[in-house]
Amino acid sequence: MRHPNDGELRRLLDEAWVVPAPLRGHVQSCERCRMHIASLQADAEAAQALFGTEGTTDAAAARERFALNLGKGLAPVRSAAPPRRLPYWRIAGGAAAAIAVLAIGFTPIGSYAKGLLLIFQPQSFKAVPIAPSDGAALPNLRQLGNLQGVRNIRLSPAASLAAAQAAAGFKVLAAGQGVPANLGSPVYAVMPSQTESLQLSASKVAAYAVQHHLQIPPLPADLAGSMLSVTTGPAVVTSYGGSLSTLGASGRMPQLLIAQAPAPKVYSTGATVQEIEQYLLSIPGISPQLAAEIRSIGDPTRTLPIPIPIGRALSKTVMVNGAQGLAINDQTGIGSAVVWQKNGMVYTVVGSLPESQALTVAQGLH
C-alpha cells in the first residue's frame, strides 16, 4: 500500500469517511504517515485557532437592512451596530464546550406548564467520537426551528462559597486536594435559571435543505408541532487562576473550573427524544460513523452524548467517589476534563492540567 499524499491526509483529518478504508488503515499502521499527519494536524489546529469559530448574526435584521439597501439603490447602508466582542467560544475553546454541556439544561420543574412531557433526564454520559467536519455537518438547531429565550450563559459573581450556595439553592461542594497552590483563591460565579424553547419549523428545515443542497426528508407533522423546552437552572462555577465571569474582558481562560448543577431535563409538548434523534440523524452530511455511535447509545433519554473530537481528544470511563464518570484529555497535555453525575447533580472539572490531576481535584470535592 502506498503512502497517502498530503491532500488525502488533509482530507482524512476533516472528512475521514470519504477516504478509502485501505488508506485509512495504512495511516493507522504506518509510523511515518502518523508522524506526517500529526504535522498536518498541528497546522490545521493553528489555523483553526486563528480563524476562530462561528459568531452570531441576525439574519432577519440583515434582511430588513437589505430591504433598505434595495430601496436606496446602490451603496449598502452601513451598519450602525457596535462591533462585536471576540466571541466567547473563540476564546474559551474546549473547556467552554464542556461547560456548555452542563448548560444544556438544569431543572426547576415547578414553573413548567401542564402538558409538557419530560423526555430527557440523563443518568450517565457517553463519549461520541466526532470528526471536525461532523461539527460543520450537524445542523445548528436554530437553523431548523424558532428558538426563544435566553441564548447566552450569564454568570454573576458571588462573594463566597456560602453566597454562591445561597444564590443557587443547592449544596455547593468545595475543592480540596489536587488544586495547584499557585492558582490562589477560588472565585465563584452563579448562572441563574434560564429557559430556552425550540419549535421545529418545516419552512426552516426547507431553507436549510436549500442552503446545503441536501435532500432532507420533510419534517413529520408531530415534530413540526412540538415545542422543546429546556430550563437551565442555577449552576455554580468555581474558577481558579482567573474568573470566568470576566472571561470576555481578559481573553484568558481560568486555569481550573469546577461546575456544579442539577442534572439536565428537557421537556417536549409531543415528540419523543427518539423521534427527534431519528429525524436529525436522517439529515445527509452526518457521517455514518457518528450516526452509528449515537444510535448505539441505546436509551437516549438516559445518556447524554459528549462529543469527543477525533484526533484531538481522548476519553475514558473513570470512577469518582463511587460514581461513574468520563475523563477527557486533549492529547496535547494542555487540558483535561472530568464529568460525572451523583445524587441528581452533574459535576465537571475542566482545567489546564493533566487528567490525573483533574481526577484528583474531582475526587477531592467535599
Q: Classify residue 36 by burial, with Cβ atoms within 10 Å: 0-12, 13-18, 19+.
A: middle
Contact residue for another protein among 120, 125, 208, 240 (CB under 8 A): 208
Rg (CA), the chain: 22
Q: Cβ 307 to another protein, closest distance in Å?
A: 16
Q: Cβ 47 to another protein, closest distance in Å?
A: 5
Rounded Cα distance between 265 and 230, Å, is 7
What three-state secondary structure class fits 143? Answer: helix
Nearer to another protein, 19 or 349 (CB): 19
Rounded Cα distance between 14 and 12, Å, is 6
All three cell numbers of 26, joined, read 495504512
Contact residue for another protein among 69, 177, 274, 321 (CB under 8 A): 69
- The answer to whether 10 contacts another protein (rule: CB under 8 A) is yes
Q: How far is CA 328 from CA 21, 119, 308, 332, in A?
A: 27, 27, 8, 12
Segment contacting another protein by CB under 8 A, of 76-84, 94-102, 155-163, 335-343: 76-84
Q: Cβ 175 to another protein, closest distance in Å?
A: 27
Please, which residues bridge with residue 351 across strands? 256, 336
- The answer to whether 248 contacts another protein (rule: CB under 8 A) is yes
Which phi and psi angles does 270 have, rounded to 5°?
Answer: -170, -60
- The answer to whether 79 contacts another protein (rule: CB under 8 A) is yes
Q: Cβ 80 to another protein, closest distance in Å?
A: 8
Contact residue for another protein among 38, 66, 146, 221 (CB under 8 A): 66
By CB under 8 A, what part of segment 260-299 binds another protein? 285
- What is the full DSSP assignment across 267-300? EESS--HHHHHHHHHTSTTS-HHHHHHHHTT--T
- Residues of this chain that bind another protein (CB under 8 A): 5-11, 14-15, 18, 40, 43-44, 46-48, 50-52, 54-55, 57, 59-60, 62-63, 65-67, 69-71, 76-79, 81-87, 91, 133, 135-137, 143, 203, 206-208, 210-213, 248-251, 285
